[in-house]
Amino acid sequence: MADTTKPMITDVFVAGARKGWNIATTSTLPNVLMAFIIIYALQITGALNGLALIFGPLMKIFGLPGEAAAVLIGGWMSMGGAIGVAISLFEKGILTGAHLAILAPAIYLMGSQVQYAGRILGVVGIPAKRIPLMIAISVLNAFGAMLIMRLMILE
């Protein structure tokens, strides 16, 4: 007869904690650390100011400074990276709590598309000509969410 005993709750907890630690140290932490380094490099080179000038008018629609575009670009590539960029800009006083509230839904609505486009869409056989439309829908959803958040957080 097969042994069908259930594992102890402590064993399940420890296994889950190990998996969580592995995800944090191999996926989340490197993305956040990379984002801090990128923002620091952009600030030292003055490219962050250039980014603010270029995207300032668009970001103003959402009640955000131009530098907030770095969060959206980061989110498009990696959600963890976007969080790192947002935290870094918040730490430097460029973004406020209200700005973070406006950006949060956008990060998740268009999050990690660069990573997932090849991993998922290519594997399931989505025709390449449809991928730009799918990306555009996500970006439009993100912009809509930022507008709604701006209305909810009127300062």
Check residue 155 and give its pLDDT.
Answer: 60
The per-residue pLDDT for 35 is 73
Mean pLDDT of 82-101: 93
- Cβ-contact 111, 79 below 8 angstroms: yes
Mean per-residue pLDDT of the chain:
87
Query: Exposure pattern of 110-134 as b/e (b: 16+ CB <10 Å)?
Result: bbbbeeeeeeebeeeeeeeeeeeee
What are the tens digits of pLDDT across the range 31-84? 777 777 887 888 889 888 898 999 999 999 999 999 999 999 888 888 888 888
pLDDT at 117: 75
Q: How far apart are CA 80 and CA 32, in angstroms?
A: 6
29-45 and 47-61 are packed helices; what angle lies between their axes, rounded to 10 degrees? 110
Task: Quickly count: other Cβ atoms within 10 Å of residue 53's Cβ.
Answer: 11
In Å, how far from its chain's centre is CA 140? 16
SS3 per residue for 60-89: HHCCCCHHHHHHHHHHHHCHHHHHHHHHHH
Q: Please report, rounded to a whole number, the percentage of residues in the chain having pLDDT higher than 70.
A: 96
Model-level pTM?
Answer: 0.75
Confidence at residue 3, expressed as pLDDT on a 0 to 100 scale: 65
Contact 101, 149 (CB under 8 A): yes
Torsion of CA 75, 80, 85, 89, to 10 degrees: 110
Closest CA to 147 of 52, 53, 59: 59
Mean pLDDT of 107-130: 81
Give me the residue spans of the domains in the chain: 9-152
